[in-house]
Amino acid sequence: MIPSDHFVRFYNEVFKAVMERGRRDLVAYWRELGRLQCARLAEEFRRGGLQACYDYWEKIRLEENCEAELALTEDYFEFRMLKCPSLSKALDNDAEPCELYCDHCMAWIQPVMEKAGLYAVMDMHSRSEPHCCFRVYTDKEKAEQYAEGAKMLSRPYEDPLVAAACERCAGKGGLTRE
Protein backbone atom coordinates (compact mmCIF):
# COMPACT_ATOMS: atom_id res chain seq x y z
CA MET A 1 0.00 0.00 0.00
CA ILE A 2 1.25 3.48 -0.85
CA PRO A 3 1.82 5.76 2.18
CA SER A 4 -0.66 8.64 2.40
CA ASP A 5 1.97 11.36 2.01
CA HIS A 6 3.10 9.77 -1.27
CA PHE A 7 -0.49 9.30 -2.40
CA VAL A 8 -1.36 12.96 -1.76
CA ARG A 9 1.69 14.10 -3.71
CA PHE A 10 0.76 11.77 -6.56
CA TYR A 11 -2.87 12.91 -6.51
CA ASN A 12 -1.73 16.54 -6.58
CA GLU A 13 0.34 15.89 -9.71
CA VAL A 14 -2.50 13.95 -11.36
CA PHE A 15 -4.82 16.91 -10.80
CA LYS A 16 -2.29 19.27 -12.39
CA ALA A 17 -1.78 16.96 -15.37
CA VAL A 18 -5.53 16.65 -15.96
CA MET A 19 -5.95 20.43 -15.58
CA GLU A 20 -3.37 20.95 -18.34
CA ARG A 21 -5.73 19.08 -20.66
CA GLY A 22 -8.50 21.59 -19.94
CA ARG A 23 -11.72 22.02 -18.01
CA ARG A 24 -13.61 19.34 -19.95
CA ASP A 25 -11.10 16.65 -19.00
CA LEU A 26 -10.90 17.84 -15.39
CA VAL A 27 -14.69 17.74 -15.02
CA ALA A 28 -14.77 14.28 -16.62
CA TYR A 29 -12.13 13.11 -14.14
CA TRP A 30 -14.07 14.54 -11.20
CA ARG A 31 -17.30 12.96 -12.48
CA GLU A 32 -15.56 9.59 -12.58
CA LEU A 33 -14.41 10.05 -8.97
CA GLY A 34 -18.01 10.86 -8.07
CA ARG A 35 -19.32 7.84 -9.96
CA LEU A 36 -16.97 5.53 -8.10
CA GLN A 37 -17.94 7.02 -4.74
CA CYS A 38 -21.65 6.83 -5.64
CA ALA A 39 -21.32 3.10 -6.16
CA ARG A 40 -20.00 2.79 -2.62
CA LEU A 41 -21.84 5.46 -0.63
CA ALA A 42 -25.03 6.83 -2.23
CA GLU A 43 -27.36 4.05 -1.12
CA GLU A 44 -25.83 4.02 2.37
CA PHE A 45 -26.48 7.76 2.71
CA ARG A 46 -29.97 7.47 1.22
CA ARG A 47 -30.93 4.77 3.75
CA GLY A 48 -29.12 6.23 6.75
CA GLY A 49 -29.50 9.95 6.07
CA LEU A 50 -27.53 12.43 8.12
CA GLN A 51 -26.54 9.81 10.69
CA ALA A 52 -24.89 7.71 7.96
CA CYS A 53 -22.97 10.82 6.81
CA TYR A 54 -21.82 11.44 10.38
CA ASP A 55 -20.71 7.81 10.79
CA TYR A 56 -18.80 7.83 7.49
CA TRP A 57 -16.92 11.07 8.18
CA GLU A 58 -16.19 10.09 11.77
CA LYS A 59 -14.41 7.03 10.36
CA ILE A 60 -12.57 9.27 7.86
CA ARG A 61 -11.60 11.67 10.66
CA LEU A 62 -9.94 8.82 12.54
CA GLU A 63 -8.41 6.98 9.56
CA GLU A 64 -6.94 10.10 7.96
CA ASN A 65 -5.92 11.72 11.24
CA CYS A 66 -7.97 14.85 10.54
CA GLU A 67 -8.14 17.72 12.94
CA ALA A 68 -11.88 18.09 12.55
CA GLU A 69 -15.11 18.64 14.42
CA LEU A 70 -18.33 16.85 13.51
CA ALA A 71 -21.84 17.91 14.41
CA LEU A 72 -25.18 16.28 13.83
CA THR A 73 -28.38 18.26 14.26
CA GLU A 74 -31.97 17.73 13.26
CA ASP A 75 -31.34 19.84 10.13
CA TYR A 76 -27.80 19.01 9.02
CA PHE A 77 -24.58 17.08 9.40
CA GLU A 78 -21.46 19.26 9.59
CA PHE A 79 -17.82 18.35 9.02
CA ARG A 80 -15.58 21.23 10.05
CA MET A 81 -12.02 20.57 8.95
CA LEU A 82 -9.69 22.49 11.25
CA LYS A 83 -6.53 21.26 9.56
CA CYS A 84 -6.82 19.14 6.46
CA PRO A 85 -4.04 16.54 6.41
CA SER A 86 -4.36 16.12 2.65
CA LEU A 87 -3.92 19.78 1.65
CA SER A 88 -1.29 20.17 4.38
CA LYS A 89 0.76 17.41 2.71
CA ALA A 90 0.27 18.98 -0.72
CA LEU A 91 1.46 22.32 0.67
CA ASP A 92 4.45 20.70 2.41
CA ASN A 93 5.86 19.47 -0.86
CA ASP A 94 8.65 20.53 -3.16
CA ALA A 95 6.13 20.67 -6.02
CA GLU A 96 3.60 23.46 -6.25
CA PRO A 97 0.14 22.48 -4.96
CA CYS A 98 -2.59 22.15 -7.56
CA GLU A 99 -4.60 25.37 -7.61
CA LEU A 100 -7.85 23.39 -7.52
CA TYR A 101 -6.75 20.69 -5.07
CA CYS A 102 -9.55 21.41 -2.59
CA ASP A 103 -12.22 21.30 -5.29
CA HIS A 104 -11.89 17.54 -5.69
CA CYS A 105 -13.72 17.02 -2.38
CA MET A 106 -16.96 18.65 -3.46
CA ALA A 107 -16.46 17.18 -6.93
CA TRP A 108 -17.02 13.69 -5.52
CA ILE A 109 -19.32 14.64 -2.64
CA GLN A 110 -21.86 16.52 -4.80
CA PRO A 111 -22.82 13.57 -7.08
CA VAL A 112 -23.01 11.20 -4.10
CA MET A 113 -25.34 13.50 -2.19
CA GLU A 114 -27.48 14.19 -5.25
CA LYS A 115 -27.94 10.46 -5.82
CA ALA A 116 -28.71 10.00 -2.11
CA GLY A 117 -31.34 12.76 -2.18
CA LEU A 118 -29.30 15.02 0.11
CA TYR A 119 -27.88 18.54 -0.35
CA ALA A 120 -24.23 19.29 0.34
CA VAL A 121 -22.71 22.74 0.76
CA MET A 122 -18.93 23.20 0.95
CA ASP A 123 -17.37 26.41 2.22
CA MET A 124 -13.70 26.06 1.35
CA HIS A 125 -12.80 29.34 3.09
CA SER A 126 -9.64 29.40 0.92
CA ARG A 127 -7.99 27.17 -1.68
CA SER A 128 -4.59 27.66 -0.06
CA GLU A 129 -5.36 27.17 3.64
CA PRO A 130 -6.01 23.65 4.97
CA HIS A 131 -9.43 24.19 6.54
CA CYS A 132 -13.02 24.11 5.32
CA CYS A 133 -16.53 23.32 6.42
CA PHE A 134 -19.20 21.34 4.69
CA ARG A 135 -22.73 20.57 5.63
CA VAL A 136 -25.24 18.05 4.37
CA TYR A 137 -28.93 18.85 4.56
CA THR A 138 -32.12 16.94 3.88
CA ASP A 139 -33.88 20.23 3.02
CA LYS A 140 -32.75 22.01 -0.17
CA GLU A 141 -33.92 25.45 1.00
CA LYS A 142 -31.92 25.21 4.22
CA ALA A 143 -28.86 24.17 2.22
CA GLU A 144 -29.29 27.18 -0.07
CA GLN A 145 -29.64 29.49 2.93
CA TYR A 146 -26.39 28.18 4.40
CA ALA A 147 -24.67 28.55 1.01
CA GLU A 148 -25.53 32.25 0.91
CA GLY A 149 -23.22 32.86 3.87
CA ALA A 150 -20.25 30.87 2.57
CA LYS A 151 -16.92 32.67 2.33
CA MET A 152 -15.79 30.58 -0.67
CA LEU A 153 -18.51 28.30 -1.93
CA SER A 154 -17.27 25.20 -3.72
CA ARG A 155 -19.22 24.56 -6.93
CA PRO A 156 -16.63 22.70 -9.00
CA TYR A 157 -18.96 21.93 -11.89
CA GLU A 158 -20.32 25.47 -12.27
CA ASP A 159 -17.51 27.76 -11.06
CA PRO A 160 -15.98 29.88 -13.87
CA LEU A 161 -12.77 30.02 -11.82
CA VAL A 162 -12.26 26.33 -12.61
CA ALA A 163 -12.03 27.05 -16.35
CA ALA A 164 -9.71 30.01 -15.71
CA ALA A 165 -7.42 27.89 -13.52
CA CYS A 166 -7.27 25.20 -16.22
CA GLU A 167 -6.29 27.83 -18.79
CA ARG A 168 -3.52 29.12 -16.50
CA CYS A 169 -2.29 25.57 -15.95
CA ALA A 170 -2.32 24.82 -19.67
CA GLY A 171 -0.38 28.05 -20.24
CA LYS A 172 2.44 26.62 -18.11
CA GLY A 173 3.22 24.12 -20.84
CA GLY A 174 0.29 21.80 -21.40
CA LEU A 175 -2.46 21.38 -23.94
CA THR A 176 -5.99 22.59 -23.47
CA ARG A 177 -9.09 20.99 -24.95
CA GLU A 178 -12.15 23.06 -24.06
Which candidate, 132, 125, 152, 2, places its Cα nearest to that of 66? 132
34-55 pLDDT per residue, tens: 999 999 899 999 999 999 999 9
From the candidate CATH numbers 3.30.70, 3.30.1380, 1.10.3470, 3.40.30, the one assigned to the domain spanning 4-171: 3.30.1380
* Residue type present at position 127: R
Interior angle at CA 116, CA 120 and CA 145, nearest 5:
30
52-96 pLDDT per residue, tens: 999 999 999 998 888 999 999 999 999 999 998 888 877 887 778
Q: Which residues of 105-126 are buried (b: 16+ CB within 10 A; e: fewer)?
A: bbbbbbbbbebbebbbbbbbbe
Q: What average pLDDT score do residues 23-33 get?
A: 91
Domain extents in the chain: 4-171
Count CA atoms within 13 Å of residue 101 on its CB side: 26
Residue 176 pLDDT exceeds 60: no
Residue 174 pLDDT exceeds 50: no
Q: What average pLDDT score do residues 136-155 get?
A: 96
118-138 pLDDT per residue, tens: 999 999 998 888 899 999 999
